[in-house]
Protein backbone atom coordinates (compact mmCIF):
# COMPACT_ATOMS: atom_id res chain seq x y z
CA UNK A 1 0.00 0.00 0.00
CA UNK A 2 1.37 3.40 -1.01
CA UNK A 3 0.80 5.08 2.34
CA UNK A 4 2.68 2.34 4.21
CA UNK A 5 5.79 2.75 2.06
CA UNK A 6 5.69 6.52 2.48
CA UNK A 7 5.16 6.22 6.22
CA UNK A 8 8.06 3.82 6.58
CA UNK A 9 10.42 6.34 4.97
CA UNK A 10 9.01 9.24 6.94
CA UNK A 11 9.25 7.22 10.15
CA UNK A 12 12.97 6.79 9.63
CA UNK A 13 13.37 10.51 9.00
CA UNK A 14 11.17 11.53 11.91
CA UNK A 15 13.05 9.27 14.35
CA UNK A 16 10.78 9.54 17.36
CA UNK A 17 10.59 7.45 20.51
CA UNK A 18 7.51 5.71 21.78
CA UNK A 19 5.32 7.81 24.04
CA UNK A 20 6.26 7.16 27.66
CA UNK A 21 3.47 8.74 29.69
CA UNK A 22 0.13 9.88 28.24
CA UNK A 23 -0.65 13.56 28.72
CA UNK A 24 -3.31 14.68 31.15
CA UNK A 25 -6.45 16.08 29.53
CA UNK A 26 -5.53 19.55 30.76
CA UNK A 27 -2.11 19.33 29.13
CA UNK A 28 -3.53 17.87 25.93
CA UNK A 29 -5.96 20.77 25.53
CA UNK A 30 -3.38 23.51 26.00
CA UNK A 31 -2.49 25.73 23.06
CA UNK A 32 0.43 24.44 21.01
CA UNK A 33 2.41 27.46 19.84
CA UNK A 34 4.42 27.22 16.64
CA UNK A 35 7.25 29.71 16.95
CA UNK A 36 8.34 32.04 19.72
CA UNK A 37 5.62 32.30 22.40
CA UNK A 38 6.75 35.91 22.93
CA UNK A 39 6.47 36.90 19.27
CA UNK A 40 4.67 40.24 18.92
CA UNK A 41 2.05 38.87 16.51
CA UNK A 42 -0.09 35.74 16.81
CA UNK A 43 -1.98 33.99 14.04
CA UNK A 44 -4.96 31.96 15.26
CA UNK A 45 -5.72 29.20 12.78
CA UNK A 46 -9.07 27.42 12.98
CA UNK A 47 -8.84 24.16 11.08
CA UNK A 48 -10.53 20.80 10.61
CA UNK A 49 -8.24 17.82 10.09
CA UNK A 50 -10.43 16.52 7.24
CA UNK A 51 -10.59 19.90 5.48
CA UNK A 52 -8.71 19.76 2.13
CA UNK A 53 -8.20 23.53 2.12
CA UNK A 54 -6.55 23.30 5.54
CA UNK A 55 -4.18 20.66 4.19
CA UNK A 56 -3.40 22.95 1.24
CA UNK A 57 -2.51 25.79 3.59
CA UNK A 58 -0.15 23.56 5.56
CA UNK A 59 1.50 22.25 2.40
CA UNK A 60 1.74 25.43 0.34
CA UNK A 61 1.52 28.55 2.50
CA UNK A 62 2.77 27.64 5.97
CA UNK A 63 6.35 26.87 4.87
CA UNK A 64 6.72 30.42 3.51
CA UNK A 65 5.14 31.88 6.64
CA UNK A 66 7.57 29.91 8.76
CA UNK A 67 10.57 31.06 6.78
CA UNK A 68 9.76 34.77 6.76
CA UNK A 69 7.81 35.34 9.95
CA UNK A 70 7.66 32.41 12.37
CA UNK A 71 11.27 31.20 12.33
CA UNK A 72 12.48 34.81 12.59
CA UNK A 73 10.56 35.38 15.83
CA UNK A 74 8.15 37.94 14.41
CA UNK A 75 5.02 35.79 14.48
CA UNK A 76 3.70 32.67 16.15
CA UNK A 77 0.83 30.45 15.11
CA UNK A 78 -1.71 28.64 17.26
CA UNK A 79 -3.90 25.98 15.66
CA UNK A 80 -7.37 25.72 17.18
CA UNK A 81 -9.36 22.58 16.40
CA UNK A 82 -12.60 23.15 14.53
CA UNK A 83 -13.68 19.62 13.58
CA UNK A 84 -16.46 19.27 11.06
CA UNK A 85 -16.94 15.52 11.37
CA UNK A 86 -16.18 12.44 13.43
CA UNK A 87 -12.84 11.70 11.79
CA UNK A 88 -11.63 15.26 12.08
CA UNK A 89 -12.40 15.07 15.79
CA UNK A 90 -10.62 11.71 16.06
CA UNK A 91 -7.53 13.05 14.31
CA UNK A 92 -7.52 16.17 16.51
CA UNK A 93 -7.66 13.98 19.61
CA UNK A 94 -4.83 11.85 18.29
CA UNK A 95 -2.60 14.87 17.67
CA UNK A 96 -3.37 16.33 21.08
CA UNK A 97 -2.47 13.06 22.79
CA UNK A 98 1.01 13.24 21.28
CA UNK A 99 3.72 14.85 23.43
CA UNK A 100 3.62 18.63 23.15
CA UNK A 101 6.93 18.78 21.29
CA UNK A 102 5.59 16.39 18.63
CA UNK A 103 2.20 18.03 18.16
CA UNK A 104 3.10 20.11 15.11
CA UNK A 105 4.84 17.14 13.52
CA UNK A 106 1.71 15.08 14.08
CA UNK A 107 -0.46 17.76 12.51
CA UNK A 108 1.85 18.01 9.50
CA UNK A 109 1.69 14.25 8.95
CA UNK A 110 -2.07 14.10 9.35
CA UNK A 111 -2.52 16.84 6.77
CA UNK A 112 0.10 15.38 4.45
CA UNK A 113 -1.66 12.01 4.30
CA UNK A 114 -5.18 13.39 4.74
CA UNK A 115 -6.41 12.33 1.32
CA UNK A 116 -5.48 8.74 2.13
CA UNK A 117 -6.71 8.27 5.72
CA UNK A 118 -9.75 10.57 5.55
CA UNK A 119 -11.08 8.83 2.42
CA UNK A 120 -10.23 5.31 3.53
CA UNK A 121 -12.96 2.75 4.04
CA UNK A 122 -11.67 2.38 7.61
CA UNK A 123 -10.15 5.74 8.71
CA UNK A 124 -9.67 4.58 12.31
CA UNK A 125 -7.34 1.75 11.29
CA UNK A 126 -5.37 4.14 9.09
CA UNK A 127 -5.06 6.66 11.93
CA UNK A 128 -3.89 3.93 14.31
CA UNK A 129 -1.30 2.87 11.76
CA UNK A 130 -0.04 6.43 11.37
CA UNK A 131 0.15 6.87 15.14
CA UNK A 132 2.02 3.62 15.58
CA UNK A 133 4.44 4.21 12.71
CA UNK A 134 5.50 7.57 14.05
CA UNK A 135 5.54 6.71 17.73
CA UNK A 136 2.91 9.30 18.63
CA UNK A 137 0.95 6.65 20.48
CA UNK A 138 1.31 2.96 21.13
CA UNK A 139 -1.93 1.01 20.52
CA UNK A 140 -2.93 1.06 24.19
CA UNK A 141 -2.38 4.81 24.49
CA UNK A 142 -4.23 5.38 21.22
CA UNK A 143 -7.31 3.55 22.47
CA UNK A 144 -7.11 5.33 25.83
CA UNK A 145 -6.85 8.66 24.04
CA UNK A 146 -9.97 8.06 21.99
CA UNK A 147 -11.89 6.97 25.09
CA UNK A 148 -11.11 10.28 26.79
CA UNK A 149 -14.50 11.96 26.80
CA UNK A 150 -13.14 15.03 28.59
CA UNK A 151 -10.65 15.57 25.76
CA UNK A 152 -13.36 15.07 23.15
CA UNK A 153 -15.70 17.46 24.94
CA UNK A 154 -12.90 19.99 25.37
CA UNK A 155 -12.24 20.06 21.64
CA UNK A 156 -15.95 20.35 20.86
CA UNK A 157 -16.29 23.15 23.41
CA UNK A 158 -13.36 24.92 21.75
CA UNK A 159 -15.25 24.84 18.47
CA UNK A 160 -18.36 26.28 20.12
CA UNK A 161 -16.25 29.00 21.75
CA UNK A 162 -14.66 29.87 18.39
CA UNK A 163 -18.06 30.23 16.77
CA UNK A 164 -19.29 32.46 19.56
CA UNK A 165 -16.14 34.58 19.98
CA UNK A 166 -14.92 34.89 16.39
CA UNK A 167 -17.97 33.87 14.33
CA UNK A 168 -16.01 31.00 12.74
CA UNK A 169 -18.13 28.96 10.34
CA UNK A 170 -15.63 27.63 7.80
CA UNK A 171 -12.08 26.34 7.68
CA UNK A 172 -9.42 27.35 7.47
CA UNK A 173 -10.05 30.73 9.07
CA UNK A 174 -7.22 32.87 10.40
CA UNK A 175 -7.45 35.66 12.95
CA UNK A 176 -4.55 38.12 12.98
CA UNK A 177 -5.34 40.95 15.36
CA UNK A 178 -8.41 42.60 13.87
CA UNK A 179 -7.90 41.00 10.47
CA UNK A 180 -9.64 37.84 9.26
CA UNK A 181 -8.36 35.68 6.41
CA UNK A 182 -10.72 33.00 5.11
CA UNK A 183 -9.68 29.97 3.12
CA UNK A 184 -6.37 28.59 1.90
CA UNK A 185 -5.06 31.91 0.67
CA UNK A 186 -1.59 32.22 -0.85
CA UNK A 187 1.35 33.52 1.14
CA UNK A 188 0.90 37.00 -0.35
CA UNK A 189 -2.44 37.45 1.43
CA UNK A 190 -0.76 36.84 4.79
CA UNK A 191 2.30 38.84 3.86
CA UNK A 192 0.17 41.88 3.13
CA UNK A 193 -1.35 41.77 6.64
CA UNK A 194 1.79 40.74 8.54
CA UNK A 195 4.14 43.22 6.89
CA UNK A 196 2.24 46.10 8.46
CA UNK A 197 2.24 44.47 11.88
CA UNK A 198 5.87 43.40 12.09
CA UNK A 199 7.76 46.37 10.59
Q: What is the pLDDT of residue 13?
A: 39
Q: Give pTM, 2 decimals.
A: 0.87
**Among candidate residues 87, 92, 96, 112, the one with its CA nearest the CA of residue 13:** 112
Q: What is the pLDDT of residue 157?
A: 97
First to last CA, the chain: 48
Q: What is the pLDDT of residue 17?
A: 44
Give the structural domain span for 54: 2-198
How would you class 107 by CB atoms within 10 Å of its CB: exposed for 0-12, middle for 13-18, buried for 19 or more?
A: buried
* CATH number of residue 138's parent domain: 3.40.30.10
User: How many structural domains is the chain composed of?
Assistant: 1
- pLDDT tens across 93-128, in order? 999 998 888 899 999 999 999 999 999 999 999 998
Q: What is the pLDDT of residue 1?
A: 52
- Residues 160 and 41: their CA atoms lie apart, in Å, by 24
Give me the residues of the chain with pLDDT under 50, please: 4, 7-20
Amino acid sequence: MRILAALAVACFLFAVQAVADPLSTEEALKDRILGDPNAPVTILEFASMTCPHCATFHADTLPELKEKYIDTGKVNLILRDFPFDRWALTASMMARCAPADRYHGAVDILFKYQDQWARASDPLTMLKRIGHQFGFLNPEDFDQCLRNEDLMNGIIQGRLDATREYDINSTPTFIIGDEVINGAQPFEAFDEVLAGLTD
